[in-house]
Structure 1
Amino acid sequence: MESVGFVEEEELLECFRCDLGFWDACYTTETNCSLGERCFTGRGKAADVLDVKTLGCVKAEECDVETTVELFPNRTVFVMTKRCCDTPFCNSAHTCPICTLLYLTVALLTACRITDTSMG
């Protein structure tokens, strides 16, 4: 009897995505990763005072690696490390709508202050 091998299709991992958040405030959406990607939570600190956060999908070799993030051309803004996981929505973000509004307002004011200071 000849055995027939079935190749099981690999399911795409579902994760939360946030392009840029401050402290634990992050506006999240859901996203599907590409094959071979994992969910990640990235954390860094801008100007030694502003905690930044990102969520999303990343290639496995980028996990637990410190990377430099530039928001403006030729300007290093912060260093970030991406921590990875490999189960659906394992990079969940805490939600608190009132806290999010407060954090984002403070973050925006701080970012404006940092920009004014570095420009002048």
Structure 2
Amino acid sequence: MKGLIFCVFVIMMLTPARGEEEEQLEQLVESVVLEQEEEYLECFRCDLGFWDACYTTETNCSRGELCYTGRGRAADALDVKTLGCVKAEECDVETTVELFSNNTIFAMTKHCCDTPFCNSAQTLSGYTIGHLAVAFLTAWHLIEALT
């Protein structure tokens, strides 16, 4: 008889009360709903721009990423800019970047923000992009000729 009473007692202790069960279910539903409501951040993307000019497209960041505007300087003469998504730990950290296979390196710092399209940039026409490409190639050849 003592064994039966002990088993009943153990079962009662291990079985959650009805209120606790409902509370656990409610917490589970809330966490699933919050996860589904979490939207991916939308940002502008520009792989490489010069000065404040960047040809931008729209992109969706991965979970946990922020929008960023990266600013740097190549060869102490050319201001470069990138836009996009980045992990939070890469924000406000200066990194060096290899631009071409000829080891042209520039320092870049990514400044982050956390609202949709907060890394806005000017949009460029094809005409402006052409001028920028010519200016960049001219500067690149001049740098190569001096070294």
> Matches of residues 89-108 of structure 1 in structure 2 within 5 Å?
89-97=117-125, 99-108=128-137
> What residue is the counterpart of 1:113 in the other structure?
142
State the percentage of identical aligned residues: 66
CA apart distance, 1:96: 4.9
Q: Which runs of 5+ in 1 are unaligned?
A: none
Counterpart of 1:71 in structure 2: which amino acid? L
Within 2, Cα distance between the matches of 1:43 and 1:57?
Answer: 14
8 A contact 1:22–1:104 mirrored in 2 = no
What is the TM-score with the length of structure 1 in the denominator?
A: 0.85
Task: From the CA coordinates, give the structure whose radius of gyration is larger.
Answer: 2
Q: Is this contact kept in 2: 1:23–1:103, CA < 8 A? A: no
Report the structure, 1 or 2, having the larger helix content.
2
Match in the other structure for 2:83: 55
Point out the structure with the larger strand share: 1
Aligned residues: 118
Match of 1:40 among 65, 68, 74: 68
Cα RMSD for the two superposed structures: 2.0
Q: SS state of the match for residue 138, structure 2?
A: helix
3-state DSSP class of the match of 2:63?
Answer: coil
> Post-superposition shift, 1:95?
2.9
Deviations 1:31-50 (A, max 9, x none): 11111100000000111110
